[in-house]
Amino acid sequence: MVPSSLKDEPQCHKAVFLKLFNFSLGVMIIGMVLTLFPGFASTATPGFPLEAENGNAEKAAETLLKWKSTLDNQSRPLLSSWQGENACSSNWTGITCDLPGVVTSLNLSNMGLRGMLGALNFTALPHLVSLDLSNNSFRGPVPQEVGKLRSLIRLNLYGNNLNGFIPTSIGNLSNLENLCLAANGLSGPIPQEVGDLRGLTILALSRNSLNGSIPTSVGNLVNLTVLLLHFNNLSGFVPRELNNLTRLVQFTLAQNELTGKLPENVCLGGSLEVFTAFDNRLNGPIPKSLRNCSSLVRVWLQGNRLSGNITEDFGVYPKLKFIDLSLNRLSGKLSWTWGLCSSLESLRVSQNVIFGEIPPMIGNMTQLRVLDLSSNYITGGIPHELGRLFLLIELSLYGNNISGDIPLEIGLFSSLAKLNLASNSLSGPIPAQLGQCRKLWYLNLSRNVIQGSIPSEVGNIQFLQILDLSSNFLEGKLAQDLGKLTALADLNLSHNGFFGSIPHSFYDMLGLVSVDISYNDLEGPLPDIKAFRMAPYAAIQNNKDVCGVVAGLRACTSSSSKKTNRERGKKLVVRITLSVTSTSFLIVVLVGIVLLAGKRCKNKKCNLTELSTGDPFVVWSYDGKLVYRLIVEATEAFHPKYRIGEGGFGAVYKAELSPDRVLAVKKLHSLEDGEVVGVTSLQREVKCLANICHRNIVKLYGYCLHPKHSFLVYEFLERGSLRRILKDDEAAMELHWVRRVDVLKGVANALSYMHHDCFPSWIHRDMTSNNVLLDADYEAHVSDFGIARLLKPDSSNWTSLAGTLGYIAPELAYLPVVTEKCDVYGFGVIAMEVIMGKHPGDLISISGPSSSSLAKIGSDFLLQDVLDRRLSPPMGRDAEDVVSIAKLALGCLQVDPRRRPSMKGVSLLLPVQVPLAKPFSEITLGELNSFGC
Ligand SMILES: *[C@@H]1O[C@H](CO)[C@@H](O)[C@H](O)[C@H]1NC(C)=O
Ligand SMILES: *[C@@H]1O[C@H](CO)[C@@H](O)[C@H](O)[C@H]1NC(C)=O
Ligand SMILES: *[C@@H]1O[C@H](CO)[C@@H](O)[C@H](O)[C@H]1NC(C)=O
């Protein structure tokens, strides 16, 4: 029996337990109380008769041990300190006891524990004040009996895999101040009983699948400073009662199905900093209290149906950094007072009903990086004052009625990555100064009334990927310099008055994917490059007289185009032809040292000396024919059922020669045309590679060249490629944060070794998640080192030039010189892929080559929002690791190869844990990016 709870002892309750955020303080105070009043423990606390409480500790121990036994194999050893009969007597991990024998705190956060939460018998721990199991993998529902923990002040189950409903009994926890159930799989409604928790200051239920409406009783929680409800499936009206919550600092409703109005008084108390309600179906006006809410830092209300007059509804916000009001129904004019928001970095108000001119005062927001006013009814010119926004990365004004010239100040935007002025009434010429925007990757001036020719300076925008100048009044000959835009992927020059022939320099646009030159006056041969060959007739039609490669066009009479191409090919490509005559049965096999399992790898310098044949571990010696036969037999001549993956240069097969000798065999498909590097060179290089012995590099045993089947023979790694693991939900969840960090450390070590510790040094040239393989212990091994060079010396094929699309360093688009820094870039992509759980495709291509390829436009993304959702958000050390990785990755993705760190630098920095300067949940990609590495 527990005669009376802690609550009945006022001194205890107030002095000790209210400040549970600093629990140790509580313990200290108890200690002091006991020192000052020696009789206190036995007489003044009727709730803690000592003899009864030892029984309590035993009961607690029994309960905890029972729970431990239900946890999985990997979890139990983490709680090895849990033994004996008294949970308070020794150093039980995560257990704090106050008065002898009373377990008051159970803190097992961030331990990677797995098991059922419901298997813990809460009734045996009646005096718990703090229960923190955050960031583990506990499953099952939150049991009703949690409501019996009447002393609980802090309940944190954040970041587990809990499901089921939130128990209504939670309303009994009348001392609760901090309730965090976020980032689980909880469903069902938010129980009305939550409103009984009058002492709550933090209520975090975000990132679950909660549905139903927000109970009106939440309005009782007048002490709330943090109310997080985002990323659920909540519907119905936002209760008017939330107007009572005047102490809110963070209030999030984003990504639900909420309707109706936002509460008017969200910022009545003047402390609101973060307010997000984007992607709901809210309508009605902008809350009145927001107008004078000078504490605001981040406001995201985009994607609703909010109405109101933007001129009147917003005020001056000295701390505001990000505001997005896009896709609503706001009307009125942009007020000049935005110019007073001196911290603002991103202002997005696209797709509303905004009239009037762009106020020149906007030029005063000197921290501005993103200005998006697209799809409104804005008139007037682009003010010259905008030229003061030196930091601008994105300027989107498309779909308005803006007129006048494009101001020459545009050349001052040295960081500009994306410029979209399409569908306006802009006239005048394209300013030559645009050529100074060297970081631009997206340029769209289509559907205006722009005149003149394309200034040759545009050819200087070396990273430009998308250029749309269609539907203007441009004319003249296309400048030779446009051919310098070798990074270009989309080019639309249609519906203008260009004439003359297409300059030869266009042959260099090997990355071009889509081209449209229709409705001009062009003539002569089309460049024989892929984009033109693949172009539909519609993209070429209505010109004066073009000929050549496009279906439906007449062939050119002179073969000038083809000749040029061929000459060029000869010049660029050094081909050493290997004559693999079909009759010769050529096997050049096997540098093959198969290291028997258990033989320790020693790091060796890579050199070109012959392998020692006296090595006791040589199993195959040089009997290549035998090995060739064994492998072909084991794979039934490369039957698809043995196929385990697809590498850069061919499919990979599993060849099980015997139960303890399993190999990975990469069958090459690029040898048919006979264009590989000379055979002796291949031999030499493979020998050299086979000599490399590093725990993070896949061992290459040898190779077979044969007219029928040519292949490379590798060590077999049980878990396959990183890409495959990340694609498979289950496998990806096994790859928890700690493992992910270790994988990247392994990859960095491998690259660092090959770049810096090996002589001659090796460049991988094709770093992708496909080439990172994991063994049974999740240790990373990089495969295919240098194979790209061996097998693809021919650089005429742009995409295979070096690497795989999506991982290719941007400089390779214009300068086919592969350096170590290309591998560093590939590593950056892989690092992002590992923390995001998928290729960062969008994030990289959205921002394109600005100073860092990543995160410029995505700079207002929160880091936590791009992380792999299949894992619980990282906490503690994991969070520190993830932040350092993201920071390093962004540094590695710098467009300028010189600014990327070396792999040595990365491998030294990766294990360093830097304490977070601010809460993890507030870190944006933009901030990380500014550090570089
Ligand atoms: C969200 O709720 C709606 C009904 O309100 C339901 O149709 C939908 O399936 C739910 N979505 C999820 C992801 O639970
Ligand atoms: C918005 O407010 C301004 C300033 O009070 C006013 O001049 C304007 O007419 C209003 N616009 C609309 C569309 O109501
Ligand atoms: C090029 O621009 C024109 C007019 O703006 C458009 O109709 C056409 O679809 C565009 N072509 C391509 C390939 O996108």
At 605, the pLDDT band (50, 70, 90 cuts) reads very low
Question: If you compute the radius of gyration of the chain from its CA atoms, what whole number of angstroms results?
Answer: 33
* CA separation, residue 164 to residues 118, 141, 187, 188, 282 (Å): 11, 5, 6, 7, 28
Residue pointed to by tokens 């921290």: 367
- Give 860's contacts (C-beta < 8 A, 6+ positions apart): 322, 324, 345, 346, 370, 924, 925, 926
Model confidence at 612: pLDDT above 70: no
Ligand that lies nearest to the alpha carbon of residue 285, given by its number in the listed order = 2
Model confidence at 604: pLDDT above 90: no
Among 201-215, 490-504, 583-597, the range scoring the smallest mean pLDDT is 583-597
Q: Ligand 1: which of 233, 258, 259 to mutate, judged by most atoms within 8 Å of the beta carbon?
A: 233
State which ligand 2 atom lies nearest to the alpha carbon of 309: 1
User: What is the pairing mode between strands 514-516 and 521-525?
Assistant: unpaired
Ligand that lies nearest to the alpha carbon of residue 330, given by its number in the listed order = 2
d(Cα 350, Cα 352) in Å, to the nearest integer?
Answer: 6
* Nearest residue (CA) to ligand 2, atom 9: 332
Q: Does residue 211's CB lie within 6 angstroms of at least one atom of ligand 1?
A: yes
* Nearest residue (CA) to ligand 1, atom 3: 233
Under a CB-based contact definition with an 8 Å cutoff, are residues 779 and 695 in contact? yes
State which ligand 1 atom lies nearest to the alpha carbon of 187: 14
d(Cα 651, Cα 643) in Å, to the nearest integer?
Answer: 7
113 CA from centroid of ligand 1 (Å): 31
Q: Does residue 541's CB lie within 6 angstroms of at least one atom of ligand 3?
A: no
d(Cα 533, Cα 758) in Å, to the nearest integer?
Answer: 44
Query: Which residues belong to the active site?
Result: 766
444 CA from centroid of ligand 3 (Å): 12
At 235, the pLDDT band (50, 70, 90 cuts) reads very high
Per-residue confidence (pLDDT) for residue 254, from 0 to 100? 92
- Give 20's contacts (C-beta < 8 A, 6+ positions apart): 26, 129, 130, 153, 154, 177
State which ligand 3 atom lies nearest to the alpha carbon of 515: 13
275 CA from centroid of ligand 2 (Å): 25
Tokens of 21: 């955020």
Per-residue confidence (pLDDT) for residue 44, from 0 to 100? 31
Q: Ligand 1: which of 186, 208, 211 to mutate, judged by most atoms within 8 Å of the beta carbon?
A: 211
Model confidence at 24: pLDDT above 50: no
* Nearest residue (CA) to ligand 1, atom 7: 233
Under a CB-based contact definition with an 8 Å cutoff, are residues 711 and 799 in contact? no
User: What is the pairing mode between strands 700-704 and 720-721?
Assistant: unpaired
Mean predicted lDDT score pLDDT of the chain:
79
Per-residue confidence (pLDDT) for residue 37, from 0 to 100? 32
What's the average model confidence in pLDDT over 257-261?
96
State which ligand 1 atom lies nearest to the alpha carbon of 209: 14
Model confidence at 535: pLDDT above 80: yes
139 CA from centroid of ligand 1 (Å): 22
Per-residue confidence (pLDDT) for residue 150, from 0 to 100? 93
Cα torsion angle, 359, 360, 364, 370, sign: positive
Q: Does residue 427's CB lie within 6 angstroms of at least one atom of ligand 1?
A: no
* Nearest residue (CA) to ligand 2, atom 13: 332
308 CA from centroid of ligand 2 (Å): 9
Under a CB-based contact definition with an 8 Å cutoff, are residues 925 and 890 in contact? yes
Q: What is the DSSP letter of 708?
A: S
Q: Ligand 3: which of 513, 516, 542 to mutate, judged by most atoms within 8 Å of the beta carbon?
A: 516
Per-residue confidence (pLDDT) for residue 669, from 0 to 100? 62
Among 108-122, 340-354, 473-487, 661-675, the range scoring the smallest mean pLDDT is 661-675
Among 361-375, 433-447, 906-920, the range scoring the smallest mean pLDDT is 906-920
Among 62-76, 441-455, 567-581, 643-657, the range scoring the smallest mean pLDDT is 567-581
What's the average model confidence in pLDDT over 616-638?
63
Model confidence at 664: pLDDT above 80: yes
Model confidence at 569: pLDDT above 60: no
Model confidence at 744: pLDDT above 60: yes
Under a CB-based contact definition with an 8 Å cutoff, are residues 76 and 68 in contact? yes
* Nearest residue (CA) to ligand 2, atom 10: 332
Ligand that lies nearest to the alpha carbon of residue 332, given by its number in the listed order = 2
Model confidence at 685: pLDDT above 70: no
Q: Does residue 448's CB lie within 6 angstroms of at least one atom of ligand 3?
A: no
923 CA from centroid of ligand 2 (Å): 37
Model confidence at 305: pLDDT above 80: yes
Model confidence at 120: pLDDT above 90: yes
Model confidence at 598: pLDDT above 70: no
At 603, the pLDDT band (50, 70, 90 cuts) reads very low
* Nearest residue (CA) to ligand 2, atom 12: 332
What's the average model confidence in pLDDT over 656-667?
81
Ligand that lies nearest to the alpha carbon of residue 331, given by its number in the listed order = 2
Q: Does residue 512's CB lie within 6 angstroms of at least one atom of ligand 3?
A: no
What's the average model confidence in pLDDT over 468-481?
95
233 CA from centroid of ligand 1 (Å): 6
469 CA from centroid of ligand 3 (Å): 10
User: What tens digit of pLDDT does each residue of 820-838 get?
Assistant: 888 999 999 999 999 999 8
User: What tens digit of pLDDT does each residue of 898-908 get?
Assistant: 888 889 888 88
Q: Does residue 259's CB lie within 6 angstroms of at least one atom of ligand 1?
A: no
Q: Which residue has the higher pLDDT, 50 or 762?
A: 762
What's the average model confidence in pLDDT over 53-77?
85
d(Cα 850, Cα 863) in Å, to the nearest integer?
Answer: 19
Q: Ligand 3: which of 423, 446, 470 to mutate, judged by most atoms within 8 Å of the beta carbon?
A: 470
What's the average model confidence in pLDDT over 810-821?
69
What's the average model confidence in pLDDT over 285-296?
94
User: What tens digit of pLDDT does each residue of 874-883 get?
Assistant: 888 888 899 9
Highest mean pLDDT among 672-681, 750-759, 835-844: 750-759
Under a CB-based contact definition with an 8 Å cutoff, are residues 389 and 363 in contact? yes
At 281, the pLDDT band (50, 70, 90 cuts) reads very high
Q: Ligand 3: which of 468, 494, 513, 534 to mutate, judged by most atoms within 8 Å of the beta carbon?
A: 494
Model confidence at 136: pLDDT above 90: no
At 576, the pLDDT band (50, 70, 90 cuts) reads very low
Per-residue confidence (pLDDT) for residue 795, from 0 to 100? 36
235 CA from centroid of ligand 2 (Å): 32
Per-residue confidence (pLDDT) for residue 285, from 0 to 100? 94
Q: Which residue has the higher pLDDT, 511 or 258?
A: 258
Per-residue confidence (pLDDT) for residue 624, from 0 to 100? 59
Per-residue confidence (pLDDT) for residue 683, from 0 to 100? 62
251 CA from centroid of ligand 2 (Å): 29
Ligand that lies nearest to the alpha carbon of residue 491, given by its number in the listed order = 3
Tokens of 286: 């902008």
Ligand that lies nearest to the alpha carbon of residue 309, given by its number in the listed order = 2
In a 3-state reduction of DSSP, which class is residue 705? Answer: coil
Model confidence at 210: pLDDT above 90: yes
In a 3-state reduction of DSSP, which class is residue 123? Answer: helix
316 CA from centroid of ligand 2 (Å): 17
Model confidence at 622: pLDDT above 50: no
Q: Which residue has the higher pLDDT, 628 or 254?
A: 254
State which ligand 3 atom lies nearest to the alpha carbon of 514: 13
* Nearest residue (CA) to ligand 1, atom 2: 233
CA-based nearest residue to 903, from 838, 825, 794: 825
398 CA from centroid of ligand 2 (Å): 23
Q: Which residue has the higher pLDDT, 816 or 809?
A: 809
What's the average model confidence in pLDDT over 719-734?
91
At 814, the pLDDT band (50, 70, 90 cuts) reads low
What's the average model confidence in pLDDT over 598-608?
32
d(Cα 755, Cα 291) in Å, to the nearest integer?
Answer: 56
User: What tens digit of pLDDT does each residue of 307-357 get?
Assistant: 999 999 999 999 999 999 999 999 999 999 999 999 999 999 999 999 999
Q: Does residue 185's CB lie within 6 angstroms of at least one atom of ligand 1?
A: no
Q: Does residue 279's CB lie within 6 angstroms of at least one atom of ligand 3?
A: no
**Amino acid found at 80:** S
Q: Which residue has the higher pLDDT, 792 or 410?
A: 410
Q: Which residue has the higher pLDDT, 482 or 850?
A: 482
Q: Does residue 163's CB lie within 6 angstroms of at least one atom of ligand 1?
A: no
Ligand that lies nearest to the alpha carbon of residue 353, given by its number in the listed order = 2
Q: Which residues, judged by CB distance below 6 Å to any ligand atom, belong to the binding site of ligand 2?
A: 309, 311-312, 331-332
350 CA from centroid of ligand 2 (Å): 18
Instruction: Label each residue of 815-835 as H, E or C.
Output: CCCCCHHHHHHHHHHHHHHHH
Q: Does residue 494's CB lie within 6 angstroms of at least one atom of ligand 3?
A: yes
Q: Does residue 681's CB lie within 6 angstroms of at least one atom of ligand 1?
A: no
Helix H or strand E segment including 307 = strand 305-309
State which ligand 3 atom lies nearest to the alpha carbon of 539: 13
735 CA from centroid of ligand 1 (Å): 29
Ligand that lies nearest to the alpha carbon of residue 467, given by its number in the listed order = 3
State which ligand 1 atom lies nearest to the alpha carbon of 233: 1
Model confidence at 17: pLDDT above 80: no
At 207, the pLDDT band (50, 70, 90 cuts) reads confident
Cis ω before 167 (30° cut-off from 0)? no
What's the average model confidence in pLDDT over 223-242?
94
This prediction has a pTM of: 0.62
d(Cα 54, Cα 527) in Å, to the nearest integer?
Answer: 88
d(Cα 88, Cα 649) in Å, to the nearest integer?
Answer: 61
User: What tens digit of pLDDT does each residue of 38-61 get?
Assistant: 333 333 333 333 444 455 778 889
d(Cα 564, Cα 556) in Å, to the nearest integer?
Answer: 14
State which ligand 3 atom lies nearest to the alpha carbon of 446: 5
State which ligand 3 atom lies nearest to the alpha carbon of 495: 4
Per-residue confidence (pLDDT) for residue 837, from 0 to 100? 92
Q: Ligand 2: which of 307, 309, 376 to mutate, judged by most atoms within 8 Å of the beta carbon?
A: 309
Tokens of 420: 């979209």
Q: At what angle do helices 737-752 and 876-892 cross, to 10 degrees?
A: 40
Model confidence at 431: pLDDT above 80: yes
Per-residue confidence (pLDDT) for residue 812, from 0 to 100? 67
